[in-house]
Amino acid sequence: MKVVIIGCGKFGVRVSEYLTRQNHDVTIVDNDKDTFLALSQEFTGRTICGVGYDKDVLKEAGVSTADVVISCASSDSLNAVIANIAKNVFHVPTVIARMYDPIRARMFESMGIYTVSITRLGVENVMEYLEENKGWRVLRKLGNEDVHLVKAQVPVSLEGTKLSDLHVEGKMNVVAMERNGRSMLPGDDTYCEYHDMLYLAVSRDFLLQARDMLQL
């Protein structure tokens, strides 16, 4: 996964180093370059000094093609602003924000932004959430980003479903699939099997509906 982390405090350091050990592409942003000194030698990602809610700084960090943004700056208000920008301006598929205020946390979760706090085990909670959602990943945003190339794992509930039933004219189409380590260009009469990997072209405004259809 390509992950952008905002905030290089203790929480940000732990998350970034963990994700680096898992061979993910990690960029961490903080407005104080001295905070990067806390990163150990095992961190092999990028560091960018800048304000986390600055759109130019986020673009430099690669937010336009990120799979995940984790905002763990020092205040709820700052994390709220960054999470909102990542979700609604750059349309990042997975946005996680650290929140101390439980009321604000519930509000953001209703908007599709996952929240964590120290009382919810922090790093371990983030990793659990990412593992649960590994069945859906945006691989690339094409052209003007109105079409996303998505990799999705077929859940057991969709076994036996015809691929043609997953086609939505102008919104979603299965372009390829992997089964037992082999890739293929499926026909309309191809049926899904549990653990198949589907590669789908999905319109940006249909991403939520697509996940609902795939039960992911």
Residue 216's alpha-carbon distances to 47, 66, 109, 154, in angstroms, are 32, 19, 17, 9
* Strand, helix or coil for residue 116: strand
Per-residue pLDDT of 86-121, as tens digits, reads 888 998 888 888 877 766 667 766 666 766 665 444
> What sign does the CA torsion over 110, 128, 210, 213 have?
negative
Per-residue pLDDT of 26-73, as tens digits, reads 999 999 999 999 998 888 899 999 999 999 999 999 998 888 899 988
Q: What is the pLDDT of residue 133?
A: 56
Asked whether 200 and 173 are in contact (CB, 8 A), the reply is yes
Q: What is the pLDDT of residue 108?
A: 67
Residue range 2-132 forms a domain whose CATH class is alpha beta
> What sign does the CA torsion over 154, 157, 162, 168 have?
negative
State how far the Cα of 34 lies from the Cα of 180, in Å rounded to an integer.
48
- Output the six-digit token pair for 216: 């992911």
What are the residue boundaries of the structural domains of the chain, listed by start? 2-132, 136-214
- Output the six-digit token pair for 72: 């763990």
CATH number for region 136-214: 3.30.70.1450
